[in-house]
Amino acid sequence: MAGRGPGGRAERRSSGELESEVLATLWATEEALTPAEIQAGIGGGLAYNTVHTILKRLYDKGLVLRDVDGRRGAYRPAKNAAELTAEAMHEALDRGPDPIATLQQFVSGLSPEEEQALRDLLGGRPHREGGGA
């Protein structure tokens, strides 16, 4: 939600933050949602037109799909959260001059549970949620 800034004015959320909130709302359900349903899910006094604009941007980026039912459109995510995050990680590796050094830095910051999950995955063993090996 947008907070209050100096002078009591409402602080504006960035478009990236709004896109993330819309995607989170869509990921929280198995059903396609209308802009009005997304607006209600986000809350915080966000205008319907703002939600519709964010959905159009996400659609143009290929991040949401639009289901047309008569004149009413509903949206659903094109990828789940894990797929989108993995894609962003691959893009980050591709941008840097030394992807191996980047991976080394990334791995050094993993929690013990994340490190074990990575070891399991690299070893060909399926990772068990909340457990480890």
At 11 the pLDDT is 60
3: tokens are: 């907070």
At 128 the pLDDT is 65
122: tokens are: 């690299």
Mean predicted confidence (pLDDT) in 8-35? 85
Residue whose entry in the numeric block shows the structure tokens 């607006």: 39
Cα 76 to Cα 62, 97, 125: the distances in Å are 11, 35, 32
Cα 14 to Cα 10, 47, 76: the distances in Å are 13, 14, 22
Mean predicted confidence (pLDDT) in 98-116? 94
* C-alpha neighbours within 13 Å on the C-beta side of residue 28: 11
Is the per-residue pLDDT at 132 higher than 80? Answer: no
DSSP class of residue 8 equals G
Is the per-residue pLDDT at 23 higher than 90? Answer: yes
At 45 the pLDDT is 83
The per-residue pLDDT for range 41-76, each reduced to its tens digit, is 998 788 999 999 999 999 999 999 998 875 578 999
Query: Are 2 and 11 a contacting pair, CB within 8 Å?
Result: yes
Strands, E assignment, 45-117:
64-69, 72-77
Does the reported pTM lie above 0.85? no
